[in-house]
Amino acid sequence: MIRFAQLNLVYLLWLVPILALFYIWSFRKHRKILRRFAEESLLNELTLSLDMRKRRFKTVLIITAVLLGLFSLMRPQWGFHWEKVKRKGIDILIAIDTSKSMLADDVKPNRLERSKLAVKDMIKKLNGDRIGLVAFAGDAFLQCPLTVDYSGFMLSLDSLATDTIQKGGTSISSAIMEAIKVYKKEQKKYKILVLITDGEDHTGDPVKMAKDAKKEGVKIFCIGIGTKEGELIPVTNKDGGKNFLKDKAGNAVKTRLDEPTLQKIALDTGGCYVRSSGADFGLDLIYEQKLSKIKKKEFKEKMIRRFEERFQIPLAICLLLLLLEPFISERKKRRI
């Protein structure tokens, strides 16, 4: 069975029919231009030495070569062999605040979307580290368990929205508690929680929960997103227009960054706190200066399937066709 390692490039196949239509248009345009200078009968005599079948054949060769080149880029694979692999890495849980306050656009495009972009940038640097995702608002939920399947993690990350957790408000305590549950059976010295939030906790005692996390060996690295001055929270109304979130009294709600709480959580667990800005989110700084320097643990050896790369076959045929095309003459052979 054929599989493609780069199936995301399948959209490039549109180039094939576009190229075919271009050649059809080009042939017709060329014929139309010639008709301006000669009658149809004379035109046939002038082009008598031209073999249209060979011209069409050459066109088919080029289009086929392009098609095979695209197949090669998509990296076709079939057949596999088993291979023993050893993996070293650390475990990183990312907890992202999905409360409505994360819709504030003091960080562009808004706090939540900027957080997701920063996590995606960090994923590119991982090599063997397991990563998991916790979404939290008034409650917390394990959106993606610890995994080395970074593509699967990205799908979970992309699906995060302010309605992921139905319970409103912000409970940092719930996020920390969820991390403790996830790490319960793991070795103590390899437990990392990266907390991305504006720090406004409406329920529970996050500082007390951080002390419980420390007992379980969980280090918490906090990224504070937002401003101390506060920002209004834009929401979409029923008509699709933009309003600002209001409290029960009808006053516009402002969301403010609570740095002292986040700093205390990080300090108590042996992590660190970084305040995010639009240009420098802070997650790269935490990974490069802290997480990447943590001694990696060695996971159990396991067998994995390595699929055999077969892109060389369509690539070789593609190159052969391109080399062959110039040697095919479009002129008819003279009969003696």
**pLDDT tens for each residue of 233-273:** 666 666 665 665 665 666 656 666 778 889 999 999 999 99
Ranked by mean pLDDT, the top range of 21-35, 86-100, 189-203, 307-321 is 307-321
CA 242, 244, 248, 251: dihedral to nearest 10 degrees? -130
Instruction: Categorize the per-residue pLDDT at 21 as very low, low, confident or very high, splitting at 50, 70 and 90.
Output: very high
pLDDT, the chain, mean? 82
Which pLDDT does position 191 carry in this prediction? 87
Instruction: Categorize the per-residue pLDDT at 157 as very low, low, confident or very high, splitting at 50, 70 and 90.
Output: very high
Which pLDDT does position 319 carry in this prediction? 94
Residues comprising the chain, all counted: 336
Q: Which CATH class is domain 88-298?
A: alpha beta
Mean pLDDT across 206-212? 91
Which pLDDT does position 79 carry in this prediction? 87
The domain spans of the chain are 3-82+307-327, 88-298
Mean pLDDT across 220-224? 93
Mean pLDDT across 216-228? 86
pLDDT one-digit tens code per residue, 160-176: 998 888 787 788 999 99
Residue 336 has pLDDT above 50, yes or no: no
Query: CA–CA separation, 19 vs 320, rounded Å?
Result: 19
Mean pLDDT across 308-314? 91
pLDDT above 90 covers what percent of the chain?
35
pLDDT one-digit tens code per residue, 83-138: 776 777 788 999 999 988 888 777 788 888 989 999 999 998 888 788 999 999 88
pLDDT above 70 covers what percent of the chain?
78
Query: CA–CA separation, 294 vs 335, rounded Å?
Result: 80
Alpha-carbon distances of 48 from 44, 112, 197, 210, 326, rounded to whole Å: 6, 68, 76, 87, 21
Residue 334 has pLDDT above 60, yes or no: no
Residue 50 has pLDDT above 90, yes or no: no
Which pLDDT does position 85 carry in this prediction? 67
Tell me the two tokens of residue 277: 């800005």
Helix (H) or strand (E) holding 58: helix 52-73
The larger pLDDT score, comparing residue 218 to residue 189, is at 218
List the one residue out of 255, 290, 284, 288 whose CA is nearest residue 272: 290
3-class secondary structure, 288: helix
Is 123 within 8 Å of 154 (Cβ atoms)? yes
Global model pTM greater than 0.75: no
Which pLDDT does position 102 carry in this prediction? 84
75: left (phi over 0), alpha (psi -120 to 50) or beta: left
